[in-house]
Amino acid sequence: MKYTIAIDGPAGAGKSTIAKLLASELNILYLDTGAMYRAVGLKALRENIDIKDTEKIDEMIKNIDIQVRYIDGKQHTYLDGEDVTHKIRTPEVSLAASNVAVIKSVRLKMVELQREIAKDMSVIMDGRDIGTYVLPNAPFKFFITATPEERARRRYLEMKESGEKNVDYDIILKDIKYRDENDSTRAFAPLKKADDAILVDNTFMTVEETLSKILSHIKGDGVNQ
Ligand code: CDP
Ligand code: CDP
C-alpha cells in the first residue's frame, strides 16, 4: 500500500521533527521540501543576485541542479553537485529561501522535483504548500502550527543547544514573523491550511503528544493495520 502524507505549517511548528518520527514509525521516506528552497536561496546569496530581480532568478533557476539523496536514512541536499545539507541551515539562508520561494519559476521547478519523488513511493513531505498544491490528493494532510512566540522560543533553544553563541530571541521572533507574512501572502501557492487538512495547534503540546495525535488520525484510517 502506498501512503502519501502532507504536513504543512509555519517555521518552528515542529513539522520536520514530527515528519521524521512518523517516517520512521511507518517506515517510509521523508522529504524536507524546505531544504530545496533553502538550496535555491543559498545559490542566490552566493551569486549575489538581487532577490527582487525576478528575471535573474528565472535565469538562475533554468540551470540550477538540486538533488536529494538519502545517506543512512537521512536526507542530503545537493546544490550543483555540492552537498549543502549543513550550509543551508543559517538564518541568512532561511530568509533568502523565503524570498526566492515567492517567485513562480522557483516554485514550479521545485514542485516538479517533489512530485517526481512522490510518484512511485510512499512519502511524508513537509513544507508550506504540500496539501494545497504539491499533493492535493494526499489522503492524509496535517497543518501543524503554534504561536509565533512559542515557535521562536523553540528555535532559540535549538540554536543555544547546538552551541551557537550570539542567539537573540527578539531577532528570531522578528525573522519568524517576517517569514510567516511572506509565506502566507505570496500570490502563488501560499502557506495555507488545505480545507481537508487536520489542524494541530501544538503551542501547549509536547513532541510526543503531537506525534500521538497525528498517528491516531492515520491509524484511525487503517494505515497501520
Ligand atoms: O520543521 P519546523 O520548522 O516546523 O520545526 P522543527 O524544526 O521540527 O521544530 C523546531 C523545534 O521545536 C525542535 O527543536 C523541536 O524539538 C521543537 N518542538 C517542541 O519543542 N515541541 C513541539 N510540540 C514540537 C517541536
Ligand atoms: O524549517 P523552517 O520551517 O524554518 O523552514 P523550511 O521548511 O526549511 O523552509 C524555508 C523556507 O522555504 C520557508 O520560509 C518558505 O518560504 C519556503 N518553503 C516554501 O515556500 N514551500 C515549501 N514547500 C517549503 C519551504
29-70 per-position pLDDT tens digit: 999 999 999 999 999 999 999 988 889 999 999 999 999 999
Task: Give the mean pLDDT of 192-205.
Answer: 98
Last residue of a domain, one of 120, 148, 169: 120
Tell me the pLDDT tens digit for each residue of 111-162: 999 999 888 889 999 999 999 999 999 999 999 999 999 999 999 999 999 9
Same domain, 69 and 54: yes
Q: From the CB of 38, is ligand 2 less than 6 Å away?
A: yes
Same domain, 48 and 20: no
Please name the residue whose Cα sits nearest to atom 22 of ligand 2: 127
What CATH number is associated with residue 114?
Answer: 3.40.50.300
Same domain, 49 and 19: no
| Residue matched to cell numbers 528565472 | 58
Cα 166 to averaged position of ligand 2 atoms, centre (Å):
23
Cα 127 to averaged position of ligand 2 atoms, centre (Å):
6
All cell numbers assigned to 90: 543559517
Q: What per-residue confidence (pLDDT) applies to 159? A: 93
User: Could you give the CA distance from residue 91 to residue 108 in angstroms, rounded to a whole number?
Assistant: 24
Residue 109 lies in a domain: yes
User: Could you give the CA distance from residue 180 to residue 182 in angstroms, rounded to a whole number?
Assistant: 6
Please name the residue whose Cα sits nearest to atom 19 of ligand 1: 207
Q: What per-residue confidence (pLDDT) applies to 224? A: 38
pLDDT at 223 over 70: no
Q: Which atom of ligand 2 is nearest to the CA of 37?
A: 12
All cell numbers assigned to 163: 552551541
Q: Which atom of ligand 2 is nearest to the CA of 98?
A: 16
116: left (phi over 0), alpha (psi -120 to 50) or beta: alpha
Q: What per-residue confidence (pLDDT) applies to 76? A: 97
Cα 12 to averaged position of ligand 1 atoms, centre (Å):
5
Same domain, 193 and 204: yes
User: At 76, which amino acid appears?
Assistant: H
Task: Give the mean pLDDT of 185-200.
Answer: 96
All cell numbers assigned to 147: 504561536
pTM, 2 dp:
0.94
Same domain, 116 and 62: yes
Residue 223 lies in a domain: no
pLDDT at 26 over 80: yes
Beta-carbon contacts of 103 under 8 Å, excluding residues fewer than 6 positions away, are: 54, 57, 58, 61
Please name the residue whose Cα sits nearest to atom 9 of ligand 2: 34
Compute the mean pLDDT over every residue in the chain, rounded to the nearest whole number: 94
Question: Which ligand sits closest to the CA of 15?
Answer: 1
Last residue of a domain, one of 62, 92, 120: 120
Q: From the CB of 94, is ligand 2 less than 6 Å away?
A: yes
Beta-carbon contacts of 209 under 8 Å, excluding residues fewer than 6 positions away, are: 202
End-to-end CA distance of the chain: 11
Residue 54 lies in a domain: yes
Last residue of a domain, one of 100, 120, 140: 120
Percent of the chain past pLDDT 70, that is, above it, reads 98
14: left (phi over 0), alpha (psi -120 to 50) or beta: left
Same domain, 20 and 41: no
Confidence band of 220 (pLDDT split at 50, 70, 90)? confident
Residue 69: exposure state from Cβ atoms within 10 A (0-12, 13-18, ≥19)? exposed
* Pocket of ligand 1, beta carbon within 6 A: 9, 11-17, 154, 158, 202, 205-207, 210
Q: What per-residue confidence (pLDDT) applies to 3? A: 87
Question: Which ligand sits closest to the CA of 107?
Answer: 2
Report how many domains make up the chain. Answer: 2
Residue 131 lies in a domain: yes
Confidence band of 221 (pLDDT split at 50, 70, 90)? low
Q: Which domain holds residue 100?
A: 34-120
Beta-carbon contacts of 159 under 8 Å, excluding residues fewer than 6 positions away, are: 167, 172
Same domain, 45 and 61: yes
